[in-house]
Amino acid sequence: MAAITKGQTCLFGIGETSTLGYVQSVSVKHSFANEDEVVDEEGNVVTRHYDDRRKEITMEVIPKSGAAPETGGNLTFDGITYIIESVDDKREAKGFVKYTVTGRNYEKIA
């Protein structure tokens, strides 16, 4: 059945797929690995430096098949490749297997 939306147009759903399985939720955090500041003699910040951008993704997926993804492996989402840094494997008696995968993308690592 086709979805019907009334009112203002808003973004809905995830919009991307993953080879890890069916994406249930995803969040991406943008930050800097190198931050510093300079204060003057009165303790006021006069310069702020940001460098070495990174992105961190946390994704919950229901796998289609196979084993949990390996830490150190790669995850690609929305055209960006992340290094998998942790995997939580959740199982319950009356539910689907779910993996929560966290990965990082570093500005200078391809």
Q: 41-75: per-residue pLDDT in tens?
A: 999 999 999 999 999 999 999 999 888 999 999 99
Residue 72, domain extent: 22-106
- In whole angstroms, what is the distance from residue 102 CA to residue 105 CA? 10
In a domain, 35, yes or no: yes
In a domain, 3, yes or no: no
Q: For the chain, how many residues are written?
A: 110
pTM as predicted:
0.81
For the chain, what is the domain count? 1
Tokens representing 2 are 């086709």
In a domain, 91, yes or no: yes
In a domain, 38, yes or no: yes
In a domain, 82, yes or no: yes
In a domain, 15, yes or no: no
In a domain, 7, yes or no: no
Tell me the sheet residues that pair with 61.
23, 99
In a domain, 13, yes or no: no
Q: Please name which of 36, 32, 58, 56 lies closest in space to residue 47, comparing C-alpha atoms.
A: 36
- Express as a percent the part of the chain with pLDDT over 90: 72
Tokens representing 8 are 């203002």
